[in-house]
Amino acid sequence: MTKIEQAAHALKEGHLVAIPTETVYGLGADATNPSAVAKIYAAKGRPADHPLIVHFSNPALLSSWTTEIPDYALKLSRAFWPGPMSLVLKRTSLAGDFVTGGQDTVAVRVPSHPVARAVLAEFEKLGGLGVAAPSANRFGKVSPTNAAAVEQELLGHLSTDDLILEGGDSEVGIESTIIDCTGELPKVLRPGAITVEMISEVTGLEVSKGPTKIRVSGSLDSHYAPKAKVVLDAEPAAGDGFIASANVPTPTGVIRLLEPKDDQEYARGLYLALRQADALGLAKVVAISPTGAGIAEAIRDRLSRASH
């Protein structure tokens, strides 16, 4: 049996599988199995009312999980799936309270990472309908972007039947854009690599950004946080970790953790840099936020929560 087949069978049998995706590594369980999903919450130390995102490989499964799908949501799914985008829609009865945090909506996604797609497709061949998979880290901590980081985070919290799949470094490096599709206009609930500009261009609609009652992953004020104190847009002192674009020089005695050439590189390296700060035992990390639109907005969101 291949690793992919092993993983699909493990999911079908109610075990957990850490799966690489293009955004970050996810901790997956059969989204229709309450006791399997409960293991995700236990392993992560995640509050029970915090909803999960359901992943599948076949976009045709959208109608199994969701209802009242507006045209603009279908346009988004055709444009950006497979990819780093989650859509929030009214749920069908297939989406239980144990996945939605008791809400009448569910978030769904078709990831593009080849390993994730292969596992999901194999799982679907076995009769699986979807895999619930939040990031494979302890709740509120830095999301893992490689298998070694998953192991470091969760090894003491997984059983011998659970699996961690190797899939290299995550290409995007930050979590999916979450878009609320329950209203007349799309609303971004969590920024990511699919930007407001991209959503507007595909749908022809203005993107709403107002307050929402819908709870989604990564929406708490404090999240994605290392042990080190994260300080934004300040002058680093000797002994501090430092994250800033490549054109910003490193002051004397400061430990450079990341110097990306562009925003994509910044997103891809951010969580690795925060993990390195903890590995080095640093007390403080100063991060200079990227400016402008696009994925820079998502990076600022993650930095803001890490520093809260």
DSSP one-letter string for 25-92: -EEEEETT-HHHHHHHHHHHT--TTS--EEE-S-GGGHHHHEES--HHHHHHHHHH-SSSEEEEEEE-
Alpha-helix residue ranges (DSSP H) falling in 94-227: 97-100, 114-125, 147-154, 196-203
The one-letter amino acid code at 214 reads I
- Residue 261: phi, psi to the nearest 5? -80, -25
R_g (Cα) of the chain, nearest Å: 19
For strands 105-109 and 85-91, give the pairing: antiparallel
pLDDT tens-digit series, residues 49-107: 899 999 999 999 999 999 999 999 999 999 999 999 999 999 999 999 999 999 999 99
Question: How far apart are alpha carbons 72 and 78 in whole angstroms?
Answer: 10
Q: For residue 221, what pLDDT is reported? A: 66
Give the Å distances, CA to CA, from 114 to 57, 121, 200. Answer: 10, 10, 28
Q: For residue 77, what pLDDT is reported? A: 98
Q: For residue 231, what pLDDT is reported? A: 98
Residue 28 CA to its chain's centroid (Å): 12
Render each residue's pLDDT in the chain as its tens digit; 308 residues: 999 999 999 999 999 999 999 999 999 999 999 999 999 999 999 988 899 999 999 999 999 999 999 999 999 999 999 999 999 999 999 999 999 999 999 999 999 999 999 999 999 999 999 999 999 999 989 999 999 999 999 989 999 999 999 999 999 999 999 999 999 999 999 999 999 999 999 999 999 877 788 888 776 666 778 999 999 999 999 999 999 999 999 999 999 999 999 999 999 999 999 999 999 999 999 999 999 999 999 999 999 999 98
Verdict on whether the full-model pTM lies above 0.85: yes
Question: How far apart are alpha carbons 289 and 86 in whole angstroms?
Answer: 25
In 111-254, the DSSP E strands lie at 131-132, 163-164, 177-180, 187-190, 229-232, 241-243
Determine how many CB atoms are found less than 10 A away from the CB of residue 206: 11
Give 102's contacts (C-beta < 8 A, 6+ positions apart). Answer: 49
Angle (CA) 200-208-110 rounded to 5° is: 60
Domains of the chain, each with CATH number or no CATH: 3-203 (3.90.870.10), 229-306 (no CATH)
Q: Which of 131, 91, 125 is nearest to 109 (CA)?
A: 131
